[in-house]
């Protein structure tokens, strides 16, 4: 916690999840030092801590998606060395099986496109998939794609590393501060009102995840966000 609560900043970011800390990390990397992240609870306490932490591409269909994905993957892979904060990133690879001819065609088309933009993947047989992932059932698999560079990270530690990178370049990351509303003048954001006082700012970024919609609505902004249930399974060693 900084000793004094700031009263002004160039940029205030609402929300200390993966995205809020990512934005602070990148703004400070671009040279902005007067950045404040406000988190109403603890960093990652929103949805970020739930994440499985898979660093994997879906079937990407545009050049910018491929660039963005590759940038993010490389950023996370190198973050521990850069910041000194352990992230838990492990390059364990990723398998996408195709159980129908249609799915295989989709994956092959995606592969042809994504390879052009530097994403490495290889078509493998069900047997090769089973060798790489022995507990998997590939009895219905026609063929699979193997991505050797992908893996898994710890979302909490990775976010802490992003926050540490931002702090090292001057950002203030403040926990236990709730933003009540965005202050506006002439239809433009000029700061935030929090439960600990006001901060005037040139820029206000809403990075409050599934709570962004209600924060936006209080300022007359329509953010079409809807939370949806999502599942994953992590086993103990089998
Ligand atoms: C079960 C599950 C599995 C997932 N698996 C993956 C995966 O494998 N790979 C992947 O890339 N993604 C995955 N995701 C998605 C990923 O977790 C999210 O996209 C990401 O964490 C969203 O980050 P965020 O910063 O936008 O939101 P959040 O982490 O929710 O952060 C928003 C923050 O804003 C704060 N906040 C809200 N209101 C206020 C306020 N008024 N004032 C101050 N702070 C406020 C909240 O407390 C919260 O900490 C998964 C998600 C879930 C739920």
pLDDT in tens, 216-225: 999 999 999 9
Confidence grade of residue 190 (pLDDT, cut at 50, 70, 90)? very high
Kindly state whether residue 136 falls inside one of the protein's structural domains: yes
The answer to whether position 148 is within a domain reads yes
Of 152, 168, 191, which one is at a domain's C-terminal end? 152
- The pLDDT value recorded for residue 231 is 85
User: Do residues 15 and 46 share a domain?
Assistant: yes
Is there a domain that residue 229 lies in? no
Q: Is the CB of 20 under 6 A from ligand 1?
A: yes
My answer on whether 101 and 113 are in the same domain is: yes
Q: Is 153 in the pocket of ligand 1 (CB under 6 A)?
A: no
pLDDT at 35 over 80: yes
Same domain? For 122 and 89 the reply is yes
pLDDT at 58: 84
**Domain around 125:** 60-152
Q: Which atom of ligand 1 is nearest to the CA of 215?
A: 41
Q: Is 31 among the domain residues?
A: yes
Assess whether 64 and 147 both reside in one domain: yes
Answer yes or no: are the C-beta atoms of 184 and 191 closer than 8 Å: no
The answer to whether position 24 is within a domain reads yes
Q: Residue 186: is its pLDDT beyond 90?
A: yes
Q: Which residues are 55's β-sheet partners?
A: 151
Looking at the structure, tell me whether residues 130 and 181 fall in a common domain: no
- Tell me the C-alpha distance between 6 and 220, whole Å: 25
**pLDDT given at position 237:** 80
Task: Report whether residue 216 contacts ligand 1, using a CB cutoff of 6 Å.
Answer: no
Mean pLDDT within 17-35: 97
Instruction: Please indicate, yes or no, whether residues 148 and 174 belong to a single structural domain of this protein.
Output: no
In whole angstroms, give the CA distance from residue 190 to residue 193. 10
Q: Are residues 140 and 114 in the same domain?
A: yes
In a domain, 223, yes or no: no
- How many CA atoms lie less than 13 Å away from 137 in the CB half-sphere? 1
Mean pLDDT of all residues belonging to the chain = 95
In the predicted model, is pLDDT for residue 1 greater than 60? no
| Backbone dihedral region for residue 175 (phi beyond 0: left; psi -120 to 50: alpha; all else: beta) | beta
Whether residue 132 sits in one domain with residue 82: yes
Q: Residue 76 has what pLDDT?
A: 97
- CA–centroid distance, 155 to ligand 1, in Å, is 10
Q: Let me know: does 86 contact 140? Beta carbons within 8 Å.
A: no
Query: Shortest CA distance to 164 belongs to which of 90, 86, 88, 91?
Result: 86
User: Is 227 among the domain residues?
Assistant: no
2 has a pLDDT exceeding 80: no
Instruction: Report the percent of the chain where pLDDT is more than 90.
Output: 90
Mean pLDDT of 191-213: 97
Is the predicted pLDDT of residue 139 greater than 60, yes or no? Answer: yes
Check pLDDT > 80 for residue 7: yes
Separation CA 5–CA 126 (nearest Å):
58
**Is residue 149 a contact partner of residue 58, using CB atoms and an 8 Å limit?**
no
Q: Could you tell me if 74 and 119 lie in one domain?
A: yes
Q: Which of 152, 176, 208 is the last residue of a domain?
A: 152
In the sheet with 35-38, reading across from the earlier edge strand, the strands are 172-174, 35-38, 8-14, 197-206, 188-194, 179-185
Bridge partner residues of 200 (DSSP): 8, 191
Same domain for 148 and 65?
Answer: yes
* Phi, psi (deg, nearest 5) at residue 64: -70, -35
Q: Is the beta carbon of 50 within 6 A of some atom in ligand 1? A: yes
Tens digits of residue pLDDT in 77-132: 999 999 999 999 999 999 999 999 999 999 999 999 999 999 999 999 999 999 99
- Atom nearest to 231 CA in ligand 1: 1
Give me the mean pLDDT over the 138-149 stretch. 97
Q: What is the CATH number of the domain that holds 47?
A: 3.50.50.60
- Mean pLDDT on 207-214: 96
User: Which of 36, 46, 90, 179 gets mutated to test ligand 1 (max ligand atoms within 8 A of its CB)?
Assistant: 46
H helices then E strands: how many in the chain?
6, 11
pLDDT score, position 232: 84
How many structural domains does the chain have?
A: 2
Which of 20, 26, 47, 231 has most ligand 1 atoms within 8 Å of CB, for mutation?
47
What average pLDDT does range 145-154 have in this prediction?
A: 96
Q: Which of 97, 124, 152 is the C-terminal boundary of a domain?
A: 152
Is residue 64 assigned to a domain? yes
């Amino acid at each position: 916690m900084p000793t004094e609560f700031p009263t002004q900043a160039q940029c205030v970011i609402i929300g200390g999840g993966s995205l809020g800390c990512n934005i602070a990390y990148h703004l400070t990397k671009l040279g902005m030092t007067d950045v404040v992240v406000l988190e109403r609870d603890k960093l990652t306490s929103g949805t970020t801590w739930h994440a499985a932490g898979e660093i994997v591409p879906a079937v990407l269909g545009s050049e910018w998606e491929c660039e963005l994905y590759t940038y993010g993957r490389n950023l996370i892979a190198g973050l521990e060395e850069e910041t000194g904060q352990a992230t838990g990133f492990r390059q364990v690879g990723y398998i996408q099986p195709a159980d129908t001819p249609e799915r295989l065609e989709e994956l092959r088309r995606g592969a042809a496109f994504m390879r052009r933009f530097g994403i490495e993947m290889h078509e493998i047989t069900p047997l090769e998939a089973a060798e790489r992932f022995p507990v998997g059932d590939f009895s219905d698999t026609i063929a699979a794609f193997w991505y050797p560079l992908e893996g898994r990270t710890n979302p909490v530690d990775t976010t802490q590393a992003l926050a540490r990178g931002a702090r090292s370049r001057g950002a203030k990351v403040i926990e236990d501060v709730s933003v009540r509303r965005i202050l506006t003048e002439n239809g433009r954001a000029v700061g935030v009102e929090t439960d600990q006082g006001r901060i005037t700012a040139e820029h206000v970024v809403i990075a409050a995840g599934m709570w962004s919609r209600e924060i936006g609505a209080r300022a007359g902004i329509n953010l079409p966000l809807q939370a949806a249930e999502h599942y994953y399974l992590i086993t103990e060693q089998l």
